[in-house]
């Protein structure tokens, strides 16, 4: 699984930073979290292609998080994109698309489903799900997480040999959780040769939000936490007034949640130099990175 920070500015873009968008790429699928203006060109620059795009989640109705949808959908239609895309977002998104069709004559030529983004698990696949929880901001807004399913425990080859299981397809059936029967009639259950189930990966995306300690359980143990960081601490008052948070506050959340890595994004256009944000966050949570456009983070398994 890898995470590409397509756009990392908050509110307005800068020559170096595009508006918010994050791509999660795993197992041949691409999930887009937010779609700020210029997301399609960022995808082109990064060379990750549109073909795998299957889901888009819009966290809230502010323009910086959805202004890229129109251009992206025009391009997908022109490219003859065929894979269905499911778009999750605030209720007003439905009206937005009705208007695009009616008033701008934008015809989406690929199968597009629009679903209202609700709290809890909103998309369930074989090996992962997506979940959302509401966060305090100046418009109703959702934090989103991708949670993979637990993985089977490690296969104990010595134990399998001791039990006289012949090497080959039976190993793989046990690994996939199947009880097998040997030629001599003995039945072997997966628990006899597999260790404890192993933790799967979690990526949490928390933007836009006021400093919100209530989000800690949602971020708990995440392998990657992408958190907004509109301001540095000297602007804390401004952050509170505009329902955003500071780099230090984001780092405090990361520390309390015991995440593995923190990526700060949605940085105000005022910060040409992001060093102050990095410094104050790292003083609290050393594994902090300030996202730059097109930066990529690999999310490895922990074992």
Interaction pattern, residues 5-24, with Zn ion; x per rule: CB under 5 A: -----x--------------
Structure tokens at 94: 């439905």
Query: CB of residue 302 vs Zn ion: minimum separation in angstroms?
Result: 31
- From 64, 208, 223, 293, active-site residue: 64
Query: CB of residue 24 vs Zn ion: minimum separation in angstroms?
Result: 19
Of 223 and 228, nearer to Zn ion (C-beta) is 228
- Of 37-45, 58-66, 72-80, 91-99, the window that binds Zn ion (rule: CB under 5 A) is 58-66
Of 62 and 278, nearer to Zn ion (C-beta) is 62
**Separation of alpha carbons 214 and 71, rounded Å:** 36
Instruction: Check residue 34 for interaction with Zn ion (CB under 5 A).
Output: no
Query: CB of residue 216 vs Zn ion: minimum separation in angstroms?
Result: 21
In the annotation, is 113 catalytic? no
Of 194 and 264, nearer to Zn ion (C-beta) is 264
Q: What angle do CA 16, 212, 37 make, to 5 degrees?
A: 30
Interacting positions 204-243 with Zn ion (CB under 5 A): 208
Structure tokens at 123: 């998309």
Residues in the chain: 303
Among residues 26, 62, 242, 261, which is the contact residue for Zn ion, using CB under 5 A? Answer: 62
Residue 152 makes CB contacts below 8 A (sequence gap 6+) with 175, 176, 177, 190, 194, 197, 198
Residue 5 makes CB contacts below 8 A (sequence gap 6+) with 22, 226, 263, 265, 291, 292, 293, 294, 295, 296, 297
Distance, C-alpha 302 to centroid of its chain = 18
Burial of 134 (0-12, 13-18, 19+ CB in 10 A): middle
Among residues 34, 37, 64, 293, which is the contact residue for Zn ion, using CB under 5 A? Answer: 64
| 127: helix, strand or coil | coil
Interaction pattern, residues 163-202, with Zn ion; x per rule: CB under 5 A: ----------------------------------------
List beta partners, residue 128. Answer: 148
Would you name the residues annotated as active-site residues?
64
Q: Which residues bind Zn ion (CB under 5 A)?
A: 10, 62, 64, 208
């Amino acid at each position: 699984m890898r995470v590409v920070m397509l756009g990392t500015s908050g509110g307005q873009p800068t020559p170096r930073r595009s508006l918010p968008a994050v791509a999660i790429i795993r197992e041949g699928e691409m999930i887009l979290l937010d779609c700020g203006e210029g997301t399609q060109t960022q995808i082109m620059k990064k060379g990750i292609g549109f073909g795998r795009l299957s889901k888009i989640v819009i966290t809230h109705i502010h323009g910086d998080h959805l202004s890229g949808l129109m251009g992206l959908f025009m391009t997908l239609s022109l490219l003859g994109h065929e894979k269905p895309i499911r778009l999750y977002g605030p209720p007003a998104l439905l009206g937005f698309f009705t208007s695009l069709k009616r008033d701008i004559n934008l015809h989406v030529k690929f199968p597009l489903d629009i679903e209202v983004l609700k709290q809890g698990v909103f998309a369930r696949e074989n090996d992962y799900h997506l979940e959302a929880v509401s966060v305090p901001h100046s418009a109703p807004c959702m934090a989103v997480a991708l949670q993979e399913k637990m993985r089977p425990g490690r296969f104990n080859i010595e134990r399998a040999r001791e039990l006289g299981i012949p090497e080959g397809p039976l190993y793989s059936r046990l690994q996939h959780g199947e009880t097998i029967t040997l030629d001599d009639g003995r039945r072997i259950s997966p628990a006899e040769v597999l260790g404890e189930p192993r933790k799967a990966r979690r990526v949490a995306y928390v933007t836009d939000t006021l400093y919100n300690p209530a989000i800690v359980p949602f971020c708990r143990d995440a392998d990657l936490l992408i958190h907004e960081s509109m301001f540095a601490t000297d602007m804390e008052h401004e952050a509170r007034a505009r329902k955003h948070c500071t780099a230090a506050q984001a780092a405090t959340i990361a520390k309390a949640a015991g995440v593995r890595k923190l990526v700060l994004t949605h940085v105000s256009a005022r910060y040409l130099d992001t060093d102050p944000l990095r410094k104050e966050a790292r003083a609290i949570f050393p594994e902090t990175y300030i996202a730059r456009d097109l930066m990529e983070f690999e999310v490895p398994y922990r074992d």
